Amino acid sequence: MKKENIEFIAEVSSNHNQSLERSLHFIDISAQVGCSSVKFQLFRINELFSKEILKKSKKHRERVKWELPLDFVPALSSHAHEKGLNFSCTPFYLDAVSELEPFVDFYKIASYELLWDDLLIECAKTKKDVIISTGMANINEIKHAVEVLKSNGCDNLTLLHCTSAYPTPYKEANLSAIKTMRDDLGCSIGWSDHTVNPGVIYRAIHRWGAKVIEFHLDIDSKGEEFSSGHCWLPKQIKRVIQNCNDGIESDGDGIKQPSLSEIPDRDWRADPSDGLRPLIQIRKIWEP
């Protein structure tokens, strides 16, 4: 049987605290816990929120402290590749697409930007792989995004089912929508997790066939977003990834025959002549 490959993407989000050293450490930890990719976000508050919101909201203005310095990106990309990870970064303004193009292995589009055709087009035109989260969207909005991406040159597209609540109550994960999206849209489907619940990730993979799992990572509970309750810590997610890999390894080859660990017990089955253990030929020669 062909072995499945589940891609785990560590989303650093704004937990880097604008520190290059800390950002590089996130990459090290992502590799150590078993991820295949690490992802950051590139936004500028003045190009993320409207002037009306920024004028009224100090909370939103203060998110300038969450911005990733653009000059970090080359070092982050290089370090990720040295650690055997794919590197990605979510663009939140149009010029970010070209700024990131030399460094990212794929683009990730956030749920909040799903309606923004211009951003989708810019990503698709690069011909790089695209992953897009679908939180808050209905199926028609997702269909439109898929059409825009594919019609502008995106040949390898993955959709992430997502519930954009931070954190997400596990009962609102609605994982069965993974099948709906796969059947309706014909794309590879994954799950972007905000539940911090191992059972949700296991279910997404083993029941609903998610091939990509994205999760928010913090390394020490000191990241800007950790207090919201949607971020995993390294020990938590490492155990989940290992369990998922163990589960996949347990699939075997599908041939029904005794396993190596069973063979010593075969002779200790009940003999068909009298129903007693072990088989008669073993009774005759067995010594304690």
Rounded percentage of the chain residues whose pLDDT exceeds 70: 99
Average pLDDT over residues 137-151: 98
Domains of the chain: 7-249 (3.20.20.70), 261-288 (no CATH)
Determine the Cα–Cα distance for residues 217 and 172; give it in Å rounded to an integer.
21
Average pLDDT over residues 3-7: 80
**58, 203, 254, 273 from 3: Cα distances, Å:** 50, 18, 12, 42
Average pLDDT, the chain: 97
Among 186, 184, 182, 130, smallest CA distance to 153 is for 130
β-pair partners for 158: 131, 188
What does the pLDDT look like over 52-78, one tens digit per residue?
999 999 999 999 999 999 999 999 999
Determine the Cα–Cα distance for residues 85 and 11; give it in Å rounded to an integer.
13
Average pLDDT over residues 144-171: 98
- Is 162 a residue whose pLDDT tops 90? yes
- Is 2 a residue whose pLDDT tops 60? no
What does the pLDDT look like over 95-136, one tens digit per residue?
999 999 999 999 999 999 999 999 999 999 999 999 999 999
- Is 4 a residue whose pLDDT tops 80? no
The model's confidence at residue 1, banded by pLDDT at 50, 70 and 90, is very low
Average pLDDT over residues 153-172: 98
Res 3: pLDDT: 58
Res 5: pLDDT: 82
